[in-house]
Amino acid sequence: MTMKISDFIAQQPATVEKVLSDLPLQIEAALPESEPERVILIGTGSSMNALLAASDSFSGLPAELALRSPLTFLAETGERRVAKSLAIVLSQSGNSSDTIAATKQARKEGMDVIVVTAGREAPLAACDVKVVWLPVEDETVGPKTKGYTASVLALRLIGMALSGKTMPTAARGFVEGYAQLIETARIWSTNMAPKLAGADVIAVLGQGRHYGSALEGSLKVAEMAGIPSFGLETEEASHGRLHGLTKKSVTIALASNADELDLARRVVAAMAHYGLTGFIFDLTGKEPEGIVWPASEEPTTGLDTLSAVVPFQWLAVDLAAERGLVPEDMPYPGMTKRLGIKVGEAV
Ligand SMILES: O=P(O)(O)OC[C@H]1O[C@](O)(CO)[C@@H](O)[C@@H]1O
């Protein structure tokens, strides 16, 4: 039986449990012997979004932190060769050509490299690197959902392990709330999709780690439902971008604390004055009505980055259906192959 994206979305609580139980040992075995002076996070597309969503878990390290797309990494020279560098490379498929090239280059320069991937047969894992395996190898569709979730969590665990920390056992309580979120967000999306299917643009705003969530949420909508969609920092959006919206546009602003909520409320209120549609996903509260977010963690472990994207995953599937598209196919089948961005069989 062919698995659908809706199945993968629903499997995410089980994926989170598997990552929490299986990956810490793999990560311990993959860490370099000596402390790195520089950590470079490398990935593209959904994997770049996951790196952005998890990068705060590396910020407490004494090492300098850099985040690079594979092509930017390949084009750079100099500095990174001198310090003891650790490249952490994420590719959910293990088939992205530029990511493979960047990995080979990092090894050629003598860097320690940890690859995070689900692609057991893919060329990336064969690059003489340490590998952390994401337990999502059956997700062979282009638009990833549980692969993204597994990636963010794996990276958070790696960031913590590099700082000598482990995920608090209380984090396991998150899974229950997360399962409830998957269900409530599904119902919310079923109700909302008919109202949003005519949008000319869906903008997703987020600040801090949720800039990554905003990029990922908007990527799902674009690649499954074919609606122009983009992610922006909420702060950036308030500096001119809102003028590019129309009365047919929809903006969703993520907020994960009081400051972000204040900014999101100001943005949405200003938009409403001009008849522009905007609403808020308050990850610590009760907005939008119907979605039950997992209880906020104190102190934060950043697990809300797993929650923030869930309504967008469902919305992308439902909007595709509303527009007569098959989400697994993406609006322009064969695009990846034409772009030449993947090795092997690409959709
Ligand atoms: O994580 P990977 O497998 O390197 O893929 C990166 C990106 O490539 C695509 O498969 C196609 O661009 C995206 O859906 C994905 O986000």
Say how many Å lie between the CA of residue 127 and the centre of ligand 1: 19
Say how many Å lie between the CA of residue 294 and the centre of ligand 1: 28
Per DSSP, the residues of 136-190 read -TT--SSS-SHHHHHHHHHHHHHHHHHTT----GGGGGHHHHHHHHHHHHHHHHH
CB distance 93 to ligand 1 below 6 Å: yes
Q: Is residue 336 part of a domain?
A: no
pLDDT (average), residues 196-222: 98
Q: Is residue 144 part of a domain?
A: yes
Asked if ipTM goes beyond 0.90, one says: yes
Q: Is residue 338 part of a domain?
A: no
Q: Is residue 334 part of a domain?
A: no
Same domain assignment for residues 175 and 162 = no
Q: Which stretches of 30-156 are assigned E, i.e. beta strand?
A: 38-42, 64-68, 85-90, 112-117, 130-133
Q: Is 128 left (phi over 0), alpha (psi -120 to 50) or beta?
A: left
Per-residue pLDDT tens over the stretch 85-131: 999 999 999 999 999 999 999 999 999 999 999 999 999 988 889 99
Atom of ligand 1 nearest to the CA of 45: 16
Same domain assignment for residues 162 and 177 = no
C-beta of residue 301 within 8 angstroms of C-beta of residue 167 = yes
Same domain assignment for residues 318 and 177 = yes
Same domain assignment for residues 143 and 268 = no
CATH assignment at residue 136? 3.40.50.10490
Q: Is residue 218 part of a domain?
A: yes
304 vs 32: CA distance, rounded Å: 28
List the residue whose alpha carbon is closest to atom 7 of ligand 1: 45
Say how many Å lie between the CA of residue 93 and the centre of ligand 1: 7
The domain total for the chain is 2
Same domain assignment for residues 101 and 24 = yes
Q: Is residue 345 part of a domain?
A: no
Domain carrying residue 318 = 171-322
pTM: 0.96
Same domain assignment for residues 318 and 199 = yes
Compute and round to an integer the Cα radius of gyration of the chain: 19
